[in-house]
Amino acid sequence: MFDHIRPLLKDSGFTHRECETYLSLLAIGSGSVQEISDKSGVSRTATYPALESLIEKGLAAEEERSGRTVFLARSPERLRENMVGDLEIMRYRMERLNDSMKEMMAAFHGGQGKPRVQYFEGMHDIMRLRDEIAMSQDAIWEWFVLDENLDTILAAASDTRDRRMRLQHGRVLLIVPSGRTVPDFDANRFEVRVNQVDRAPFSGGLAITGDRSFLFSYGKEPSVLAIESPALVAMMRTVFEGMWVHGKAIKSHF
């Protein structure tokens, strides 16, 4: 049963455990973790994260019934809705790629291996670059001071941009001044560490993804220095890792 469906789900990004868990949940409708585990053949400990992932995808739900936790299958129509969302993301990426192709080809013919440095000013360019970072398929390493300026950046994300940002994964290192509360992060996509300080030494931070790095400076005159260079980015990654080992790990959640 479902043998012809399994390859389709795996092509849609399901892991083996997610696939077996969802198909079992479809078959029984609802059940406890143990009941779903018995039906799917996936271990109980592995069923928990599979169910959490399915809930995030909108394909399962959790309920309390008579003092016990049960999980319910949601309509497979959500698979089609998710695929439509993925098509929107791919269409957006293609548009951005087409817009940038002329510039990239000029850089390619002008000299390979040379660092490319760009300077941007203003909140509009900051949000545009944050959007580009959100679309990266590479792991994203970020280091930021948690202050009111970062609050503004996080609050400015639209629903569409939030959907795109679900692709993000990587590490977040926060410089947290006294009295500030660390925001929520999705533990399935991000490792989060903090460095506690009495006062923020500056406003801004660093983002690294692929062969690009972005130095953000907030405040009265917000600006970004974007650097594209494998050698320079490798240097910044080394600096980031040096700070990362001194950060305090926290249990992130979404």
Task: Read off the pLDDT of residues 166-209 as tens digits, 9 standing for 90 and up.
Answer: 456 788 898 899 888 887 766 667 788 988 888 888 899 999 99
* Nearest C-alpha neighbor of 222 from the set 118, 144, 123: 123
pTM over 0.85: no
Scan for tokens 């013919």, then name that residue. 109
Q: What percent of the chain has pLDDT over 70?
A: 87
Task: Write out the two tokens for 250.
Answer: 């926290």
100-156 pLDDT, tens digit each: 877 777 666 555 556 788 999 988 888 888 888 888 888 899 998 988 888 777 776
DSSP-assigned beta bridge partners for residue 158: none
What secondary structure letter does DSSP report for 182? P
Mean of pLDDT over the chain: 83
Checking if the pLDDT of 60 tops 70, the result is: yes
Checking if the pLDDT of 73 tops 80, the result is: yes
* Predicted local confidence at residue 229, as pLDDT: 85
Phi, psi of 252 (to 5 degrees): -90, 155
21-46 pLDDT, tens digit each: 989 998 998 889 999 999 999 999 99
Checking if the pLDDT of 247 tops 90, the result is: no
Rounded Cα distance between 224 and 122, Å, is 9
Other Cβ atoms less than 10 A from the Cβ of 131: the count is: 17
* Predicted local confidence at residue 134, as pLDDT: 81
Other Cβ atoms less than 10 A from the Cβ of 239: the count is: 12
Angle at 209 between CA 207 and CA 213, to 5 degrees: 50
What is the CATH architecture assignment of 6-74? Orthogonal Bundle (1.10)
Checking if the pLDDT of 91 tops 60, the result is: yes
* Predicted local confidence at residue 111, as pLDDT: 55
* Nearest C-alpha neighbor of 196 from the set 175, 172, 182: 175
* Nearest C-alpha neighbor of 5 from the set 101, 79, 85, 91: 79
* Predicted local confidence at residue 181, as pLDDT: 82
* Predicted local confidence at residue 52, as pLDDT: 92
Scan for tokens 């995030």, then name that residue. 56
Whether the CA torsion 237, 223, 186, 22 is positive or negative: it is negative
Q: For the chain, report the end-to-end CA distance as a whole number of angstroms.
A: 34
Mean pLDDT of 58-76: 89
- Single-letter amino acid, residue 10: K
* Predicted local confidence at residue 113, as pLDDT: 58
Residue 251's pLDDT band (cuts 50, 70, 90): low
Rounded Cα distance between 115 and 212, Å, is 10
* Predicted local confidence at residue 154, as pLDDT: 72
- 200 contacts: CB under 8 Å, gap ≥ 6: 145, 146, 147, 175, 177
DSSP three-state, residue 122? coil
- Residue 107 CA: distances (Å) to CA of 86, 99, 114, 232: 30, 14, 9, 17
Contact 58, 84 (CB under 8 A): no
Question: CATH assignment of 113-249?
Answer: 3.30.870.10
Checking if the pLDDT of 165 tops 80, the result is: no
* Predicted local confidence at residue 150, as pLDDT: 82
* Predicted local confidence at residue 160, as pLDDT: 45
* Predicted local confidence at residue 141, as pLDDT: 92
* Predicted local confidence at residue 157, as pLDDT: 58
Residues of each domain in the chain carrying CATH 1.10.10.10: 6-74
Contact 240, 143 (CB under 8 A): yes
Rounded Cα distance between 44 and 33, Å, is 7
* Nearest C-alpha neighbor of 76 from the set 25, 15, 31: 25
Residues of each domain in the chain carrying CATH 3.30.870.10: 113-249
